[in-house]
Amino acid sequence: MKLLITGVNGFVAGSVLAHAKGKWEIHGIGRSESLANEPELIYHTLDLLDDEKFADIFNKIRPDSVIHTAAMANIDTCQKNKEMAERVNVGITKTLVRLCQESGSKMVFCSTDAVFDGTKGDYTESDAPRAVNFYAETKIKAEQSVLSASDKNVVARLALVMGLPVIGKGNSFLADTIGKLEKGIQVPFPVNEIRTPIDVITLGSALVELAGNQFGGIIHLSGCTKINRYQMALEIAKTLGYSSELILSVDSNAMEGRAPRSNDVSMYNSLARQILKTPMRTLSEGLELTLNFKPAK
C-alpha cells in the first residue's frame, strides 16, 4: 500500500512518517531538500503550486492514500497575504482532490479547530463552521471540496498540536517555548483562547490509522483536556521544572496588528475515541508521551 504525505518536512508530517514506517510504501513531497534522513521515505522535491509537475508525480506514484498536511498555516500571514493563502490552502487542495478522485485514492485532509468562531465551545463534527479570519475561510473552503469529492475522504480537524519534532524540524510551539524558558525569557500565552490540545505523537498515529481504515467524513482529533492556552503553558512549565513567573497571560484579541482569533474552539473527541484504536489522551499524558517518544528505527 502506497502512502503520499504532502508537506513531509513539517511538524505533523514528521510524526505521520514515524508511524507509517514499516506499514506503507511512503512517498513524501516537500519544496526543499528532505529534512528526514529516512531510507524508507521516497522523497520528491516539488512546489505543489506547479499543477503540471504535481499531477505528473502523483500519477507516477498512484498512492492508495494521501495525508495532506501541507498548508499556509500562520493565521496572521494568511490575513496579510490572502491571494497566496487562497492559492495554497484552497487551490492546492482542490488539485489534490481532483487527482485523488481520478485515481481512486483516499484523501485525509488536515483541517483545524480554527474553522469555528469560538462562541460556543465543545464543538462536535455536526456543528457548522464559521470563520473569524481568512485562514479559517480557506480551510472551510478546502473542507468542502474534500468532502464533496468522495464519501471515503476524511476531513480531520486538528486541535492545537503540542509536542516536539519527531523527524526533521517543523514548527513546534513547545520546542520554541522550552528554548525560551531555558534562557529565562518570559513567554506570552493567551488566556482567552480555550483549546483541547492533542500531542503530535497521538496525532500522527491517528492520521496513519485514518489513511488505512474505512472511515470517511469529518472527525475531530483533539485531546481529552479542555484548557486555556495560558493554563496549558503553566502546566508545561511546572512539568518541566520552570518558574511559572516566566509564563505571561495575554489576550490575543487585544494585540494590535493581528488577525482575529476564536476564543473557545474546544472540540469533543467522542467519535475518535469510538472508531480509532489510537487512544486520545489528556494534556499530561500527551506531554509525557511526546517528551519520551523514540521513533522506531
Round the average pLDDT of the chain to a whole number and report it: 95
Domains delineated in the chain? 2-162+197-224+265-281 (3.40.50.720)
Tell me the three state secondary structure of residue 278.
Answer: coil
* pLDDT value at 36 more than 80: no
pLDDT for position 61: 97
pLDDT for position 167: 83
Stretch 196-221: mean pLDDT: 98
Stretch 63-86: mean pLDDT: 97
* pLDDT value at 161 more than 80: yes
Q: What secondary structure does DSSP assign to 224-271, as a single string?
A: S--EEHHHHHHHHHHHHT--GGGEEEE-GGGSTT-----SB--B--HH
pLDDT-derived band at 249, boundaries 50, 70, 90: very high
- In 3D, which of 192, 93, 276, 37 has the Cα closest to residue 85? 93
Cα(262)–Cα(115) distance, rounded to whole angstroms? Answer: 9
* pLDDT value at 297 more than 90: no
pTM: 0.96
Higher pLDDT, 257 or 164: 164
Higher pLDDT, 257 or 233: 233
Stretch 100-108: mean pLDDT: 98
Query: CA-based angle 180:185:186, to the nearest 5?
Result: 110
Stretch 31-47: mean pLDDT: 85
Using one digit for the tens of pLDDT, what is the confidence trace for 172-200?
999 999 999 999 999 999 999 999 999 99
Stretch 253-262: mean pLDDT: 89
pLDDT for position 8: 93
CA separation, residue 179 to residues 103, 121, 129, 172, 242 (Å): 44, 31, 35, 11, 11
pLDDT for position 295: 74
Stretch 202-211: mean pLDDT: 98
pLDDT for position 195: 98
pLDDT for position 219: 98
* pLDDT value at 23 more than 80: yes
Cα(27)–Cα(41) distance, rounded to whole angstroms? Answer: 6
pLDDT-derived band at 296, boundaries 50, 70, 90: confident
Q: Residue 70 has what DSSP assignment?
A: -
pLDDT for position 253: 87
User: Partners of 42 in the beta sheet?
Assistant: 27
Using one digit for the tens of pLDDT, what is the confidence trace for 135-159?
999 999 999 999 999 999 999 999 9
Cα(57)–Cα(128) distance, rounded to whole angstroms? Answer: 35
Residue 229, C-alpha cell as written in the block: 492556552
